[in-house]
Amino acid sequence: MATVAGVAVEGGHWIGGERVSSPATFEDVSPIDGQVIAEIARGGAEEADAAVRAAEAAFPAWSRTSREERARLLHAVADGVEKRLEQLAIVETTDNGALLRSHLRGVMPRVAHNFRFFADRLLELGHEDFDTRGHRNHVSWDPAGVCALITPWNAPLMLATWKIAPALAAGNTVVLKPAEWTPLTASLLADITAEAGLPAGVFNVVQGYGEEVGAALVAHPGVRRISFTGSVPTARHISAAAAAHLTPLSLELGGKSPLVVFADADLDLAVDLAVEQYDNAGQVCLAGTRLLVEESIAEEFTARFAARAGALTQGDPRDLATDIGPNIHPEHFARIDGFVRRALDAGATAVVGGGPNTDLGGLYYRPTLFTGVAADSEIVNEEVFGPVLTLQTFRTEEQAVEMANSTRFGLSATLVTGSEERAARVTERLVAGTVWVNCFFVRDLKAPFGGSRQSGVGREGGDWSFDFYCDLKNTVTAPWAK
Ligand SMILES: NC(=O)C1=CN([C@@H]2O[C@H](COP(=O)(O)OP(=O)(O)OC[C@H]3O[C@@H](n4cnc5c(N)ncnc54)[C@H](O)[C@@H]3O)[C@@H](O)[C@H]2O)C=CC1
Ligand SMILES: O=C(O)/C=C/C=C(\O)C(=O)O
């Protein structure tokens, strides 16, 4: 048990409704100041197996629990999240360095909303009936079984509960493997589910490294669904493991999304939206990191952007006035810096930032904007996952579309334009799971969410989540004899 920012957090796994330790542990380090904040159990194949078995044992009763009761319990979990919102927010900030302000105002309320939304959606989920030559077709959503959920560190509890809530609502049991850099809020969530009255084994957490407990979990024959959010290389490993048992999987991966600004745009709005892409120190998969700006306004846009970016406050994420906190980990910081150095070596110009924030030290990287970047350069095509944007210009709508679609990713795209007709024309041709027009990150959980190309496989959200987490069954019944 550790005390993090005054909150007691268990470092063990949560398996079958009990805390379980492992012979080995690893240190959880805060990106804010490099302090070790907790010792966490380092699971492996044994713990993955124990968690899947606990989830298998809990499945028959949970899958037959009425929809109303499942929904009630998920609302009770949401109540627990809301009751402990401040604790969850400060623990998450201490663990991953994202802004306390965001956790308090947006992220943790969204965590509660994830549970409430899917609880309510479950009760609305209809069943389809139709006739074929007098025979009745009845389509039902049957729970699939044990779901293995593997999640990243950039928005740990929000991205985990976005999967946990629909998986549980659908009548499945869950084994969650949070990222090893941010294990803490998953552990607090285990306490909250127990307090809410979720039966033992319905929700389990295994802690540890991806290559160890994560790999064992996704290769387990008892797992019926795998949902993963993270990087493309890890997705390849997980897909290969899933192939062995033909386990259905959902992948939400990285991006290199365009933010396209046309000359007819409201320039103040365009600059606001562009600066917003530094949110979470650039560690947002959906971020529009490639600014594509119509040539005639590029000079003015760049000047205004530089002024706005220069006024951002970088510092301790626990301070509510801070706009940009630290990046997650020294390894990740070095990776970001590598991208920036190679871009500079290749001749790019840093009109904003261009290196670590040496005044603050630690893991603080200056928000950076590059111009003079080649279309085929690394910095334009590879995901940095840090506060690093590029700016390229275009002359025609055709060219803008071509540039927007030019990477191997297709997660999101943002358009800023004053023309409704143009927005419709361009949107139709963009390869992206989500397109925002004159806005960014407006999310309705009813909407399908996921990526095209190498940004993902499949969609979750709304009824698409139930489609993924269930085995759809069609029962065809002949007319009964009268
Ligand atoms: N599309 C989306 O919604 C999002 C995508 N991402 C992407 O994730 C990346 C950053 O997150 P990271 O945590 O660094 O990604 P990552 O792929 O390294 O790790 C994600 C999770 O996978 C686990 N893992 C690693 N190797 C594994 C293996 N062999 N088997 C099973 N599990 C394994 C890790 O322990 C962690 O829990 C970025 O590329 C980002 O774009 C991040 C957030 C949202
Ligand atoms: O809104 C969602 O469901 C997913 C959002 C993704 C992020 O916040 C992220 O990758 O940072």
Residue of the nearest CA to atom 38 in ligand 1? 231
CATH topology of domain 2-253+451-475: Aldehyde Dehydrogenase; Chain A, domain 1 (3.40.605)
Cα 262 from chain centroid (whole Å): 29
Question: Which CATH superfamily is 258-437 part of?
Answer: Aldehyde Dehydrogenase; Chain A, domain 2 (3.40.309.10)
Q: Which ligand is nearest to the CA of 277?
A: 2
Question: HSE (CB half, 13 Å, CA atoms) of 309?
Answer: 29
Radius of gyration, alpha carbons of the chain:
23
CA–centroid distance, 329 to ligand 1, in Å, is 14
With beta carbons less than 8 A apart as the criterion, state whether 458 and 436 touch.
Answer: no
Ligand 1 proximity of 386 Cβ (cutoff 6 Å): no
CA-based nearest residue to 460, from 227, 286, 284, 241:
227
- Which residues lie closer than 8 Å to 246 by C-beta, 6 or more apart? none
For CATH 3.40.605.10, list the domain ranges present in the chain.
Answer: 2-253+451-475
| Residue ranges, CATH 3.40.309.10, the chain | 258-437
Q: What are phi and psi of 79, to 5 degrees?
A: -60, -45
Categorise residue 422: left if φ over 0, alpha if ψ from -120 to 50, beta otherwise: alpha
Does the beta carbon of 224 lie inside 6 Å of ligand 1?
no
Q: What is the pLDDT of residue 4?
A: 98
Place of tokens 């397109």: 435
Distance 416 CA to ligand 2 centre (A): 21
pLDDT at 228 (0 to 100): 98
Among 99, 149, 158, which residue has the most ligand 2 atoms within 8 Å of its CB, making it the best to mutate? Answer: 158
Q: Which two tokens stand for residue 68?
A: 């109303």
Catalytic site residue from 212, 252, 294, 460: 252
DSSP label at residue 324: B
Report the SS3 class of residue 327.
coil
Tokens of 163: 């999967």
What is the 210 CA–ligand 1 centroid distance (Å)?
9
Q: What does the pLDDT read at residue 128?
A: 81
pLDDT, residue 126, reads 80
Q: Are 181 and 154 within 8 A, CB to CB? A: no
Secondary structure E strands in 262-302: 290-294
Ligand 1 centroid to residue 211 C-alpha, Å: 11
Provide the 3-class DSSP secondary structure of residue 330: helix
- Ligand 2 centroid from CA 185, angstroms: 16
Annotated catalytic, 252? yes
Residue 393, CA atoms < 13 Å, CB-side half-sphere:
13
Going by alpha carbons, the residue nearest to atom 23 of ligand 1 is 210
Which ligand is nearest the CA of 183, by number? 1
Q: State the first-to-last Cα distance of the chain, in angstroms, to the nearest integer.
A: 66
From the CA of 443, give the closest atom in ligand 2: 1
Please identify every stretch of the chain with a pLDDT value under 70, giving residue numbers as ranges: none
Nearest-ligand number for the alpha carbon of 158: 2
Tell me what pLDDT residue 117 has: 98
Place of tokens 């609880």: 119
Residue nearest to atom 15 of ligand 1 (CA): 230
Give the amino acid at 1: M
Enter the DSSP assignment of 460.
Answer: B
